[in-house]
């Protein structure tokens, strides 16, 4: 991964540091011919909520991490 992309992702993720995970939802979506896994997480701190959304390519993710994926969605 390019360093500038990695830096940007770490900066975004750091906004959620110290917050409490209040809820999450897994969804599977299809955009065009691509199957996606969407993880939507809601965090809370001082009465304010923020949402983080992670989107993964299902074929690539399942190819490398199918055993973990199956455990998480159960």
Looking at residue 5, what is its pLDDT? 86
Asked if residue 9 is part of any domain, the answer here is no
CA dist 53 and 43 (Å) reads 11
CA dist 45 and 18 (Å) reads 8
- Residues 16-47: pLDDT tens digits? 999 999 999 999 999 998 899 999 999 999 98
**Do 36 and 28 meet the contact criterion of CB atoms below 8 Å apart?**
yes
- Of residues 21 and 58, more confidence is placed in 21
Domain count, the chain: 1
Asked if residue 65 is part of any domain, the answer here is yes
Asked if residue 5 is part of any domain, the answer here is no
Q: Which domain does 44 fall in, by range?
A: 19-73
**Do 12 and 19 meet the contact criterion of CB atoms below 8 Å apart?**
no
Q: Is the pTM of this model over 0.85?
A: no
Strand order in the sheet with 34-45: 20-31, 34-45, 48-57
Looking at residue 51, what is its pLDDT? 95
Asked if residue 10 is part of any domain, the answer here is no
Mean pLDDT over 41-55 rounds to 93
């Amino acid at each position: 991964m390019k360093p500038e992309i990695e830096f940007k992702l770490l900066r975004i993720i750091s906004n959620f540091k110290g917050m409490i995970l209040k809820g999450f939802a897994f969804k599977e979506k299809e955009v065009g011919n691509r199957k996606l896994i969407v993880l939507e997480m809601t965090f809370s701190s001082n009465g304010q909520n923020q949402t983080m959304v992670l989107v993964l390519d299902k074929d690539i993710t399942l190819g490398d991490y199918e055993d973990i994926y199956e455990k998480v969605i159960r």
